Amino acid sequence: MGPDVKEQLDNILSQYDGDSADLIPILQEAQGKFSYLPKQVMQGIAKFLRLPESTVYGVSTFYAQFKLTPTGKRMVKVCRGTACHVRGGARILQEIETQLGIKPGETTEDLEYSLEAIACFGSCALAPVVVIDDNVYGRVTTAKVRQLLADTK
């Protein structure tokens, strides 16, 4: 663990007394600080709480709120719901995968973009839908995808 990470983790842990019941609040705080849960951080937490690493890892993977890999600065979400699918959502997703070079659930190496495929955004009238950070884009075409990604660079 780098000295910075260790110091920041120690700062978090100093507010707790080592009670294993604090595992989730500690994980939440660590994720807030590092934006995901690096392996070394989970190991540090396990040691502090005197829990097996597998327990900390198990809890982190059980709750969807915890991320075990870093997320990019920008989050691109593509709808793969039925309405979007029939209006070409799969092509949109494919175009984004090609443009970014990643699959859903992955992050680009430069940590600029993360990609997720979502069941339905509830904006089916706008299908196919893409959401970049908090901005919803409707009736997206492959040409528009290229434009959107270029604009958000």
Query: Which residues lie near ligand FES (CB under 6 A)?
Result: 79, 81-84, 120-121, 123-124, 127, 129
- Our CB check for ligand FES shows the closer of 8 and 123 to be 123
The residue (of 57 and 104) whose beta carbon lies closer to ligand FES is 104
* Residue with Cβ nearer ligand FES (52 or 122): 122
Which of residues 82 and 147 has its CB atom nearest to ligand FES in the complex? 82
Could you tell me which of 86, 12, 96, 75 has the C-alpha nearest to residue 48?
12
Q: Which residues, other chains included, contact 44 with Cβ-Cβ below 8 Å and sequence gap of 6+?
A: 1, 6, 9, 13
- Least separation in angstroms between residue 57's CB and ligand FES is 33
Closest approach, Cβ 105 to ligand FES, in A, equals 18
Q: Which residues pair with 117 in a beta bridge?
A: 78
Give the side-chain half-sphere CA count within 13 A for 111: 6
Structure tokens given for 95: 């175009």
CB of 120 to ligand FES, least distance (A): 4
- In whole angstroms, how close is the CB of 103 to ligand FES at the nearest point? 19
> Cα angle at 141 between 152 and 97, to 5 degrees?
60
Q: How far is the CB of 48 from ligand FES (least distance, A)?
A: 43
- State which residue, 100 or 131, has the beta carbon closest to ligand FES: 131
Q: How far apart are CA 121 and CA 84, in angstroms?
A: 10
